[in-house]
Amino acid sequence: MSERLRAELARVAGTFGGDVAFTLERPRDLAHGDLATNLAMQLARRERTNPRAMAERVVAALDLSSARLASVEIAGPGFINFRLAAETLTEDLQRILTEGARYGRSQSGQGRRVNVEFVSANPTGPLHVGHGRGAALGDGIAALLEWTGHTVTREFYVNDAGAQISRLAASLWTRIQQAVGRTAEIPEGGYHGDYLKEAAAELLTREGASFADLDIATGVARCRTAVLVLQRAEQDTTLADFGVHFDVVSSEQWTYDHGDVDAAITRLRIAGLTFEDGGALWLRTSSFGDDRDRVLRKSDGTYTYLAPDIAYHLDKFARGFDHAIDVWGADHHGYIPRMQAALTALGLPAGWLDVALVQLVRVVRGGEEVKMSKRSGDFVTLRDLYEETGVDAARYWFLMRRGDSHLVFDIELAKSRTDENPVYYVQMAHARMSGIFRNAGRAAEDVTGTIALSVLAVEDVDLLKKLTQFPEIVARAAIESEPHRVTTYLDELARMSHGWYHACRVLGEPPEIEHSRLLLARATRQVFANALTVLGISAPDRM
RNA sequence: GCGCCCGUAGCUCAGCUGGAUAGAGCGGCUGGCUUCUAACCAGCAGGUCGCAGGUUCGAGUCCUGCCGGGCGCACCA
């Protein structure tokens, strides 16, 4: 419908002399009609004439015979407002019911393969709240891409090759020694968290007390392997319980072992993108948008993190993805230019890699800041959080705001006053729709037929119009990698639904009204279910 | 010093590629359950959209400069 109108507007714009950028969108205020265009104002701008007069000329030139419109009017500074004929709404409702759980999906992605890498937490300790936000966001972005016809791979990258893993292994070895009653100190820069005490106890139980008597080199090496397996398993379990699953887990160590790092360096050298200075090997990232060159290989012969990261992204590209999205903590924003510079230098398409930043979460407990330091072990884990608030509430909360805005998560509030949590407001709206059918003694799917808009109230029609926005919301959220657009929509829809529920009684009304409202309730319930499903949040039938 | 993000109601935040009278939740105040869940609804109060310029018919939105907050500017990852 809107496509046909847009085409006609473009045709008229052409007759007024060339293409001009104009919008055709739903006005915020329903009183302004169903669709509005600023075309006349854009034309007037170029022609330097009165916008309202231009609007008169545009309206006169429009051929609207094929567009099913109830009215066209000029308003405000020169907007042209269109009101759709009632049949289009009737058809919209049919479409929601027909498409059911698929309503909101589209094929605009045309099967393009997209890799979404997120969380990718170091295996040096439990996942914290910030990882939870990254998990919710990455999973939401991935789901939105699936809903818009992309083929998505969810990927987790493990930094299992760095010096911090060595320190972690040494720290665990210390805990092992302490566990058998010897005095030992956590090494400089080591990890002090209690989770290593638990790991030490577990390891001793499994391997026997003699494990502590191994020589240091062997002991630390075995601690390294053991702690990696342990941490990864715990992260996976924590994420799975949070409803997040990965298709692929990649390893930094693997890129070394597989020769990918050396191969990447060689490629860069052959391409003339590197130079040596001070015994180190540098990459000329400054020629590709970075503000300085970066070291690839230190003068001691070891690589910086950048080398395996480049190798890893090359591997992703080689695996055939049309597009890659990395979800990074905002504290890594400074690395975006150098990574993109490196990939551009190697000839990857511009824009192949997008980075979605997620601001770190400030955790507050009862108004008091909770320090999150892995070293001191004093921090709130993701599991702590969702076991207190529930998975649904935590996921919804993480997705309520834009990823790059600061987020304050007050655990005390979410814990002690869960009725104030917006997710319940939304889920309640869904439960109420389900309740109507429960009370009617029939399944929502069994209510079929055509809605009779003429017998309904303005609240009914406004609710239906809100429902028809859902596909656009999904499409937009997917394009922008912004799942919060869906939570915002859900909140708006919930408000309208609760208002409708009060204003418009369903059961016991005259048959035609009852039937039409049952259809509307069925469609509303469907849209709630779909929107919550995209975000990985449950849609309960009763609360 | 340089770069990125942010600055909107008392608090936490939305505001769709620049549009019409800037919104929601929480908190505050007034009302509302003999009727499909009051985990709800209706209403009221609360704004110099950080400040100052600029572009535009039109700026919370775009540009410039300041101010404030966060983060980053390693041969750490």
Q: What's the pLDDT tens digit per position in A126-150?
A: 888 889 999 999 999 999 999 999 9
Instruction: From the CA of A34 to the C1' of B73: give the distance in Å.
Output: 49
- Give kind and range of the element (H or E) at residue A64: none
| pLDDT over 90 (residue A513) | yes
Closest residue by Cα to the C1' atom of nucleotide B73? A334
| pLDDT over 60 (residue A40) | yes
The tokens for A116 are 């979404």
Q: What's the CA gap between A54 and A57, in Å, rounded? A: 5
Q: Any idea which fold A118-257+359-415 has?
A: Rossmann fold (3.40.50)
Closest nucleotide to A23: CA versus each C1': B17
In sequence order, the 6+-apart residues with CB closer than 8 A to the CB of A352 are A317, A323, A324, A343
Q: For residues A69-76, give the mean pLDDT.
A: 86
Instruction: From the CA of A495 to the C1' of B29: give the distance in Å.
Output: 21
| pLDDT over 60 (residue A1) | no
pLDDT at A92: 93
Where helices occur in A303-378 by DSSP H, the ranges are 306-318, 336-345
Closest nucleotide to A504: CA versus each C1': B36
More confident of the two residues A158 and A164: A158
Helix (H, G, I), strand (E, B) or coil at A156: strand
Which positions of strand B lie within 7 Å of protein CB atoms? 2-7, 12-17, 19-21, 24-27, 32, 35-42, 56-58, 69-77
Q: For residues A22-35, give the mean pLDDT.
A: 81
Query: Where is mean pLDDT largest: A19-33, A365-379, A436-450?
Result: A436-450
Instruction: From the CA of A188 to the C1' of B35: give the distance in Å.
Output: 70
Closest nucleotide to A122: CA versus each C1': B77
Q: For residues A187-204, give the mean pLDDT.
A: 88
CATH architecture of A90-106+419-534: Orthogonal Bundle (1.10)
pLDDT at A311: 95
Instruction: From the CA of A166 to the C1' of B62: give the distance in Å.
Output: 50
Cite the beta strand spans of A31-95 per DSSP E. Answer: 35-37, 69-75, 79-84
Our CA dihedral for A171, A173, A174, A179, rounded to 10 degrees, sits at: 130
Closest residue by Cα to the C1' atom of nucleotide B5? A404
Backbone angles phi, psi at A135, to 5 degrees: -65, -45
CATH 3.40.50.620 domain span(s) along chain A: 118-257+359-415
Instruction: From the CA of A527 to the C1' of B45: give the distance in Å.
Output: 35
| pLDDT over 90 (residue A514) | yes
Chain mean pLDDT for chain A: 88
Instruction: From the CA of A333 to the C1' of B72: give the distance in Å.
Output: 7
Cite the beta strand spans of A94-247 per DSSP E. Answer: 113-117, 151-158
pLDDT digits 0-9 by tens, A330-376: 888 888 888 988 898 898 998 899 999 888 787 777 666 666 544 44
pLDDT at A172: 93
pLDDT at A376: 44
| pLDDT over 60 (residue A299) | yes
pLDDT-based confidence at A377, cuts 50/70/90? very low
pLDDT-based confidence at A418, cuts 50/70/90? low
pLDDT at A110: 93
- Give kind and range of the element (H or E) at residue A280: strand A280-283
Closest nucleotide to A431: CA versus each C1': B37
> How many Cβ atoms are within 10 Å of A291's Cβ, its own excluded?
10
Instruction: From the CA of A364 to the C1' of B47: give the distance in Å.
Output: 27
Closest residue by Cα to the C1' atom of nucleotide B77? A305
Closest residue by Cα to the C1' atom of nucleotide B27? A420
Q: What's the CA gap between A25 and A36, in Å, rounded? A: 6
More confident of the two residues A252 and A67: A252
CATH 3.30.1360.70 domain span(s) along chain A: 2-84
Q: What's the CA gap between A383 and A129, in Å, rounded? A: 8
Instruction: From the CA of A281 to the C1' of B75: give the distance in Å.
Output: 9
Closest nucleotide to A408: CA versus each C1': B12
Q: For residues A104-130, give the mean pLDDT.
A: 91
**Could you tell me the CA-to-CA distances from A444 to A100, A163, A435, A447, A515 in Å, in that order?**
11, 58, 10, 6, 11
More confident of the two residues A6 and A526: A526
pLDDT at A291: 78
CATH 1.10.730.10 domain span(s) along chain A: 90-106+419-534
CATH number for the region A2-84 comes to 3.30.1360.70
pLDDT-based confidence at A433, cuts 50/70/90? very high
Instruction: From the CA of A30 to the C1' of B67: give the distance in Å.
Output: 39
Q: For residues A143-164, give the mean pLDDT.
A: 93
Closest nucleotide to A361: CA versus each C1': B70
Closest nucleotide to A48: CA versus each C1': B57
In sequence order, the 6+-apart residues with CB closer than 8 A to the CB of A531 are A104, A470, A473, A486, A489, A490, A493
* A103 DSSP assignment: T
Query: Where is mean pLDDT largest: A83-92, A418-427, A513-522?
Result: A513-522
Helix (H, G, I), strand (E, B) or coil at A407: strand
